[in-house]
Amino acid sequence: MGTGKDEPLSSSRAVGGTKPVKILRLDGWEGPTVGGAQIYVRRVSQALEAHGHPNVTAAIVTDPVPEKLGPVRAFRAPRSAIRRAAAEVADGGPLTRWLDELADEVKPDVIHLHRFETGFSALGPWLGRRSEPIVFTAHDVEMVCPVATLTLPDGTPCPGGILPRCQFTGCEVGFGLPLNLAKRRSFDTHVKSRVRSFICVSRATQRIFDSLGYRPTDLLRPMIPVPDEPVPFPEGPFTIGFLGRFEHQKGVDVLRDAFTLVRERHPNIRLRLAGSGPVNVPPGDGVSVDGWVADSRRWFEGIHVLAVPSLPWENLGNSPIEALANGVPSVVTASGGLPETVGEFGTVVPPGDSASLAEAIGQIVDHYPEAKQRALAGRAWVREEFSPERHLARLLGIYSAAMG
């Protein structure tokens, strides 16, 4: 949530002189809050356009698309599940007609699916009837069990295993189990066999998809531009930063508890949160809330360390990579692919453990020059591992293989 200003790559007709690829990019989400996946979609779309590959982003949403996401074609689905089902299920319904008109206009060489959320009951059958190759980016480990076992903590078979936020199975896997079961059934029935690449942004996610039979998989790191210069040492009281959605899964409550513990030793420390979401984060008592951040570099100038306290399962996360790109120390949890965002240049703690998080932050407070030096060394690693040029070349290779 709230990544910085995009830095488009240099323009040309097409990367390496290759024939332009026309992409129809399908996304979707419920509610007004967007996250890092939508920011990635905007960033990669702009980069492809700059290199001569036309692509159209279309989203099935319940709320208006925020202007900050740029030009997005949108189909507004009703919030009520009953009204939504009535509007979507029948062949030739409004969503199906909208998708047909969109495809007739774009004439895509590839359909790139980013979400299987709102409108799935019409989207699945529609995708199953298309002849274009489909690639699917697994932003949130959707459709699979986030711990790759399909087994509950007590050892019994899990009846769900769909989304990483379920509170009905005994695991932290998702909300609305019956709906999620229907989504997975629709995906497996209509879409799975048509997907030419399951694109995974972390090795942790790739292992899950491989183990559950969603193949072929391709590892593709996100593109994170590295600024020419790191942010300077911030002025003022030592400040912990959080950049993301305000929700239970992101560990906002754990961070608040850890902040309270750190203040016992460092009473002047501050906590600064940027983002939005369903969890209420009131300002006051050393806590400030910035809301959406349009320029993340300027925001990083005001913090000393970034905390990413996600609970299981976090697919990857852009904010700790951006922090390292700006030379800001990061503490992340051992949740899914998060350790892959900091490599040897950040600190990793157990998820859901406020005491460990507080201890790690306290160590950085006490030894900040060393932590800052590690983060500065990590800029070169980010420049190589998350290079926009490398990402674009790899993505075009995936498109080419899908079309072949």
DSSP 348-371: EE-TT-HHHHHHHHHHHHHTHHHH
pTM: 0.84
Instruction: Check residue 142 and give left, alpha or beta (phi > 0: left; psi -120 to 50: alpha).
Output: beta
Which of 3.20.20.150, 3.40.50.2000, 3.40.640.10, 3.20.20.120 is the CATH number of 15-223+387-403? Answer: 3.40.50.2000
Q: If you average pLDDT over residues 2-18, what whole number do you get? A: 42
How many CA atoms does the CB half-sphere of 68 hold within 13 Å? 18
Better-scored residue on pLDDT, 207 or 361: 361
Which DSSP letter does residue 166 get?
A: -
Q: How confident is the model at residue 12 (pLDDT cuts 50, 70, 90)?
A: very low
Q: How confident is the model at residue 184 (pLDDT cuts 50, 70, 90)?
A: confident
pLDDT score for 270: 97
| CB burial string 187-213: b at 16+ within 10 A, e below | beebbbebbbbbbbbbebbbebbeeee
Judge if 15-223+387-403 and 239-385 fold alike in CATH terms. Answer: yes
Cα–Cα distance for residue pair 167/173, rounded to 1 Å: 6
Give the tens place of pLDDT for each residue, 111-167: 999 988 778 888 999 999 999 999 999 887 655 555 545 555 565 555 544 444 455
CATH number of 239-385: 3.40.50.2000
Give the tens place of pLDDT for each residue, 375-393: 999 999 999 999 999 999 9
Angle of the 177-186 helix axis to the 120-129 helix axis, nearest 10: 10
Domain ranges of the chain: 15-223+387-403, 239-385
Backbone angles phi, psi at 331, to 5 degrees: -120, 125
